[in-house]
Chains A and B, each alone.
Chain A
Amino acid sequence: MEISYYPGCTLKTSAKNYEKTGLALLPIFDISPVEIKDWVCCGATYSLTSDNLMYQLAPIRTLIRAKESGNPRLLTLCDMCYNTLKRAALFIENDEEKREKIKNFMDEEETDYRGDEVEVVHLLTLLNEIGSQKISEKLVKSPLDLKIATYYGCMLLRPKEIQADSAENPQLMENIFQGMGVEVVEYPFRTECCGSYQIVNRREIILDRTKKIISSAVKNNADLMVLSCPLCDYNLEATQKELIEQDSNFKPLPVLYFSQLLALILGIDPEINDWSLHNIDPTPVLKRKGLL
């Protein structure tokens, strides 16, 4: 089965480990991702103003490309792309007047688009549709007493009308990993914001958030953290080096994309990962747990 695929800009650069391992999972379940042609950046953050329609154009153009591809189910891996595309689609589906305005502005587009023809789906949702039973049947390497902390952040869960799972108690990653003999630890920050784009000009906010989130996961005995958003990954992973320098009591925690861990468990060649992209080396713990 083929599915349209929208990578977004970050998966082609700093989140290469996510794209490579995420896409490598799909053929195991007879799914072939087909990258859509001529996609553009989604804009990363959904515009929250009602009177400026310019920001809606980029995600809508990408949705039109997906409709034209003939496979109207559009797979995303990046949580920010998921949020932006899904909200833009909903926006023009529900507001006929603004939909017409946008259509008139994009008069070079030959394909009509109403907002409901393309279904944006996140990789975690797709894997949950396959189901933990089928996924666990493909298990190749059982982890040895591995405890993980899942981190969801915001973009996959909020607002309610586009959420991929419960905003307060999501289970998308738990469903997948608990079937693999992995223990998912409880800690209170799974769905709390990492600070997002404030990393550009208010780094201290991200350092504060990372310290709270990572320390809580460590305190609850996590061996590593898994997540699905490239910006959460940068904020929670790269800034740990500064926290180590600032505070000798801070205990770092390796952070991986959930797909990296799942790919190892399903026996995909570990060489697919570029471990040098990690600031906190996850290979010692992965070796200890029998995954490398």
Chain B
Amino acid sequence: MNNKLTLENIQQFDLDEFQEISGENIFACYQCGNCSAGCPAADFMDLAPHEVIRLLQLGQIDEVVKTNTVWICAACVTCRVRCPKGVDLSKIMEAVRQIVLRKKNNYVDLNKIESELREKLPQIALVGNFRKFTL
């Protein structure tokens, strides 16, 4: 990541809104990296979980949104259980997703899912997926 950090682009997003959605204090994180070490989906992510928090601490939500990380997280909550500061990263990932989704940008489209697959999948897969990836 080569984005230049300046006084202007720090705090480029509404931190109060973010904390209101997530209910979490992103500044509690001291970057130990335990979340990334234990994340079973980290191999598929552009940014490691602890890097997401670091960028948010620096106000760089646009950089986070450019990556696939929040859409790979399946909220398994392993990170939160192991976080020494009790930060619930699953809620932080959800807040970033919500900020994107609330601008009417759904991440999945039911019509693009093959009907054969749709019929085979258990309902909890579909309901859970649409809960996380659509508004």
Alpha-carbon separation in the docked complex, A9 to B123 (Å): 7
* Contact residues, B85-135 vs A (CB, 8 A): 88, 90-91, 93-95, 98, 107-108, 113, 117, 120-129, 131-133
| Closest beta carbon of chain A to B40's beta carbon, Å | 5
When the two chains form their complex, are residues B128 and A196 in contact, meaning their CB atoms are under 8 A apart? Answer: yes
Alpha-carbon separation in the docked complex, A198 to B132 (Å): 10
When the two chains form their complex, are residues A80 and B81 in contact, meaning their CB atoms are under 8 A apart? Answer: no
A-B contact pairs, 5 of them (CB 8 A): A44-B131, A49-B22, A49-B94, A80-B124, A200-B129
A to B contact number (C-beta, < 8 Å): 134
When the two chains form their complex, are residues A200 and B113 in contact, meaning their CB atoms are under 8 A apart? Answer: yes
Note all chain B residues with C-beta closer than 8 A to A231.
122, 124-125, 128
The reply on B75 being an interface residue by CB < 8 A is yes
Q: Given A154-B76, A197-B128, A197-B132 in contact, is the A167-B123 Cβ separation under 8 Å? A: no
Select which of A55, A201, A230 is within 8 A of B129 by beta carbon.
Answer: A201
The residue among A52, A78, A196 with the most chain B CB atoms within 10 A of its own CB is A196
Q: DSSP class of A's interface residues: helix, strand, loop or mixed?
A: loop
Smallest CB gap from B71: residue in A: A202
A contact residues, total (Cβ < 8 Å): 45
| Closest beta carbon of chain A to B8's beta carbon, Å | 28
Give the interface residue-count category, chain B: 35 or more
Alpha-carbon separation in the docked complex, A200 to B22 (Å): 25
| Closest beta carbon of chain A to B10's beta carbon, Å | 24
When the two chains form their complex, are residues B23 and A50 in contact, meaning their CB atoms are under 8 A apart? Answer: yes
Smallest CB gap from B113: residue in A: A200
When the two chains form their complex, are residues B41 and A200 in contact, meaning their CB atoms are under 8 A apart? Answer: no
Q: Mark A139-155, 1 if CB is under 8 A from B, else 0.
A: 00000000000000110
When the two chains form their complex, are residues B124 and A78 in contact, meaning their CB atoms are under 8 A apart? Answer: yes
Q: Given A13-B123, A45-B128, A231-B124 in contact, is the A196-B74 Cβ separation under 8 Å? A: yes
When the two chains form their complex, are residues A50 and B22 in contact, meaning their CB atoms are under 8 A apart? Answer: yes
When the two chains form their complex, are residues A43 and B43 in contact, meaning their CB atoms are under 8 A apart? Answer: no
Alpha-carbon separation in the docked complex, A167 to B88 (Å): 15
The reply on B80 being an interface residue by CB < 8 A is yes
Q: Mark B10-40, 1 if CB is under 8 A from A, else 0.
A: 0000000000111100000000000000001
Note all chain B residues with C-beta closer than 8 A to A1.
none
| Closest beta carbon of chain A to B23's beta carbon, Å | 4
Q: Given A195-B41, A208-B43 in contact, is the A10-B123 Cβ separation under 8 Å? A: yes
Q: Given A49-B94, A158-B76, A201-B113 in contact, is the A43-B123 Cβ separation under 8 Å? A: no
Select which of B44, B80, B90, B113 is within 8 A of A205 by beta carbon.
Answer: B44
Q: Which 7 A-B pairs have the closest CB atoms?
A: A193-B76, A50-B23, A48-B94, A197-B128, A158-B77, A44-B128, A197-B129
Select which of A45, A197, A205 is within 8 A of B41 by beta carbon.
Answer: A205
Note all chain B residues with C-beta closer than 8 A to A48.
22, 75, 88, 90-91, 93-95
